[in-house]
């Protein structure tokens, strides 16, 4: 496995791999790698002959009062995991390599970023789309792999790639969960034991929503109210949002008639957790 820290040697390594005509798969990450990241690597390796992982805690996607400083970092463990998972190249740039001090360009995807996490985290998606565009330009992959857990991020990146005609296939991969349903996240490492127990209420609420919708509930407000009750009953939490939205446009649905994304963001203590389920009402519960 090769490790690079600068753009030029990353481009050279990928270009050398291309000369053997291998398909290049790319998994952008912020490190603190866990089984969900490794599932993306596995998907990339199953479709591509050369797999690149980037590890970069991108400062521009964190707000001033968010957890950029506290975000978990363990490069040695991440590199060992990548090596074991069969990654070919890890790109580990320092901040100065990615952002000139006078950088003046931002990639902004409108509308899709106006809902769910958008209003709660001003500037977040611009930070994501700008860094992902830059990483795409550096690695120039054939396919890039993202988790469905960040469903809005995935939809925003798909739209960006479509709108900017980037020749990259975006592959969404299923959310990886703990046995009790909690979606894997690097931030779970910071949950206290009581918060960890309380956090299972997110998945329970999403499962309840799915059951309700597939049982014939068409009113998103009723679904959201019941989810809110379930989460509140599990302990003190601040619900940033519960949304029932169109899975592509991320716009709120007024009457549930087709597939919807049910998504939430909940703060437990200092930690902000997100999760979602895609629900097709035509798959009726028995």
Q: Of 28 and 141, which has the nearer Cβ to ligand PAF?
A: 28
Known catalytic residue at 34: no
Q: Of 50 and 91, which has the nearer Cβ to ligand PAF?
A: 91
DSSP run (H or E) holding 271 = strand 271-279
> To 10 degrees, the CA torsion angle through 81, 10, 169, 56?
50
Length of the chain counted residue by residue: 286
Cβ atoms of 136 and 107 within 8 Å: the answer is no
**Choices 87-95, 126-134, 200-208, 244-252 (CB under 6 A): range interacting with ligand PAF:** 126-134
Alpha carbon separation from 270 to 65, 126, 134 (Å, rounded): 11, 24, 31
Tell me if 277 contacts ligand PAF by CB under 6 A. Answer: no
Q: Of 43 and 227, which has the nearer Cβ to ligand PAF?
A: 43
Tell me if 128 contacts ligand PAF by CB under 6 A. Answer: yes
Q: Of 152 and 201, which has the nearer Cβ to ligand PAF?
A: 152
152: left (phi over 0), alpha (psi -120 to 50) or beta: alpha
Report the nearest approach of ligand PAF to the CB of residue 283 (Å). 28
Q: Which of 17, 24, 26, 28 binds ligand PAF (CB under 6 A)?
A: 28
Distance CA 130, CA 128 (A): 5
Distance CA 274, CA 266 (A): 6
Q: Which of 58, 185, 198, 212 binds ligand PAF (CB under 6 A)?
A: 58
Q: Which of 150, 195, 240, 275 binds ligand PAF (CB under 6 A)?
A: 150
Tell me if 243 contacts ligand PAF by CB under 6 A. Answer: no
Strand order in the sheet with 271-279: 238-245, 260-268, 271-279
How would you class 110 by CB atoms within 10 Å of its CB: exposed for 0-12, middle for 13-18, buried for 19 or more? exposed
Q: Of 97 and 219, which has the nearer Cβ to ligand PAF?
A: 97
Q: What is the largest CA-CA distance in the chain?
A: 59
Q: How far is CA 109 from the centre of its chain?
A: 16
Tell me if 213 contacts ligand PAF by CB under 6 A. Answer: no
Q: 34, 37, 190, 203: which one is catalytic?
A: 37
φ/ψ of residue 99, rounded to 5: -130, 115
Tell me if 132 contacts ligand PAF by CB under 6 A. Answer: yes
Q: Of 146 and 198, which has the nearer Cβ to ligand PAF?
A: 146
How would you class 175 by CB atoms within 10 Å of its CB: exposed for 0-12, middle for 13-18, buried for 19 or more? buried
Tell me if 30 contacts ligand PAF by CB under 6 A. Answer: yes
Report the nearest approach of ligand PAF to the CB of residue 182 (Å). 17
Report the nearest approach of ligand PAF to the CB of residue 146 (Å). 7
Tell me if 185 contacts ligand PAF by CB under 6 A. Answer: no
DSSP run (H or E) holding 144 = strand 143-147
Tell me if 170 contacts ligand PAF by CB under 6 A. Answer: no
Binding site for ligand PAF (CB under 6 A): 28-30, 58, 61, 128, 131-132, 150, 153
The catalytic site residues sit at: 37
């Amino acid at each position: 496995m090769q490790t690079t820290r600068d753009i030029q040697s990353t481009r050279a390594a990928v270009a050398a791999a291309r000369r053997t005509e291998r398909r290049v798969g790319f998994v952008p990450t912020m490190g603190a790698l866990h089984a969900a990241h490794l599932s993306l690597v596995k998907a990339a390796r199953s479709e591509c002959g050369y797999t690149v992982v980037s590890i970069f805690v991108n400062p521009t996607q964190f707000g001033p009062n968010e957890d950029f400083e506290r975000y978990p970092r363990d490069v040695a463990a991440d590199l060992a995991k990548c090596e074991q998972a069969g990654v070919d190249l890890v790109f580990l740039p320092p901040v100065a390599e990615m952002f000139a001090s006078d950088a003046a360009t931002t990639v902004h995807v409108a509308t899709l970023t106006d809902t769910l996490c958008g209003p709660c985290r001003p500037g977040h998606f611009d930070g994501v789309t700008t860094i992902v565009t830059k990483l795409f330009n550096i690695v120039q992959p054939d396919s890039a792999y993202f988790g469905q857990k960040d469903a809005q991020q995935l939809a925003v990146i798909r739209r960006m790639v479509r709108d900017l005609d980037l020749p990259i296939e975006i592959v969404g991969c299923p959310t990886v969960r703990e046995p009790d349903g909690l979606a894997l996240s690097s931030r779970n490492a910071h949950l206290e034991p009581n918060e960890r127990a309380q956090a299972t209420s997110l998945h329970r609420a999403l499962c309840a929503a799915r059951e309700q919708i597939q049982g014939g509930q068409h009113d998103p407000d009723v679904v959201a109210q019941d989810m809110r009750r379930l989460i509140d009953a599990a302990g003190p939490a601040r619900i940033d949002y519960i949304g029932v939205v169109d899975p592509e446009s991320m716009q709120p649905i007024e009457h549930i008639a087709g597939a919807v994304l049910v998504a939430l963001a909940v703060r437990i203590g200092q930690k902000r957790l997100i999760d979602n389920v895609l629900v097709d009402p035509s798959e009726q519960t028995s």
